[in-house]
Structure 1
């Protein structure tokens, strides 16, 4: 969709939602999240509130639903909503009576998790307290597929992780990979580095940066507020790669857990760490190559960090049909584009990166 159309649709959706959801959307638009992402989230919130009405959990119109009515929601209420999403047929679309896809249901849970996190930890009322005192979404697990991702991958040819494959790859690591491990030692090693590994692959898929650029990043090179990663490109020049908002939560999770997971000394400024002789140190490129190979082999086919970079380049070109945008995002130096177009590319690049994996 063109941005003007999406913004208009987003405005129409917002007008039907409670004030605190409108505040959430406004706050996230400043970060910035893309208009497409926020529009999809707004539709998810309307669907959730409509379900609350149908279940008798609220008696008012959607725009009048109070925070107190979210405060009293219990885990069993959200689990019931998950069941509704998974087993009730779609209506009002060209795909009536079909089941919702795993990705669609998980997106609904992700949208609610983001909203409740905002309301319970990123807001302040007149008493300097968050709008919500408890976050029921902390008790809710991600959606499990009825069909394993390994089964899905058998029908997919050996290719780049295009479209929703990139999202499914991360979900596979997050939810299904551990079940493939046989020994307690292997499971313990996976759990110890799971948050880091998810962040590494999310950063690859969310930026298209090179392996050397990722492993050389410092803590201060990551800006999750503005969705940017500062990297040193080939030739030694500093550049900023935009991060797709769809993958930012995995990266933030690691950013917040880095110190508690690895207990680095203050002098260790590397972003991604590993243990060597009991001490945290910068992760080696070979370690990253091995973890990407390990997870991708279990998911579909063995790939490399460079294949993840090609995935982003291919997907970005599909979205923009602009070699200039791809060149700018990936840090290529072979383009003859002039500075006159830089501000245009930046805007297109930001929109495309945020919308990279959306339908």
Structure 2
């Protein structure tokens, strides 16, 4: 029997092939770095590093007069050694708004984008410095971009109920043409949104599910979590019903070859992708709230907050969400919510009534 290639295995294959293509455009010495980190990083991390490092070399080619006549493959470790902290400060400023090669559209980076790119460069430089291939590491002489804390956005209990009700019944408010399309995807969309709200799985974990990953005997999902570990996540009756209703519809779908095992199908009868799930969450949630930008990750935050409020067990929340560090969980899900703040307003009496 031929071995089935899972979604995550296919992603790794695709990323490996993409990485090889990117490395062909970069200086030869860069390959040493990627070989060294291949056993400690995911393919997703490595391809992101490759794109970020390529942006750095493109910056040197277009913005640094010393390298105007270079091609990217001509850079050497000696050139790396000549880069100064001032060059890197100019690079950070460049990243805030720049045009990639062969593109007229500006790309911008906020705090998190800047930090990721400088972190990639630090890791890159650290490898060559540690192995004494260069004498200087200018990335240690610059400050990392500061991240300002963002308010955690999640749905309130009444908004969760409204969202699920809307997905179930909004066909009543649509034109006949809209309703025809809506009816095709209603059970799938309801199953996806109920699953995200009822288990807190990541959107990448959701789209990667195969039908064989469902266990209705124990009401469990088998997940490959971030970092590569496998675990079971359990779900309740509402998720069970939404999944079973969708599976009845799924029986009538003949998928494209290679997509037979996917749990959730797109309208093209292929495995649904992350972008499609993001779009459907956005489409439904804006009918419920206009002040919150709801994404699949916000549904995960909603689940995490609800689980913490119900159990008060931050370690359980960390485990179920697949966080390796409980401090990440504390930061996001143990934040004081509005209802507790309102209690604080009534707790202190200034004068006896």
Measured against the shorter chain, the TM-score band is 0.3 to 0.5
TM-score, structure 2 as length reference: 0.46
TM-score, structure 1 as length reference: 0.45
The structure, 1 or 2, with the larger RCO (C-alpha pairs under 8 Å, 6+ apart) is 1
Bigger Cα Rg: 2
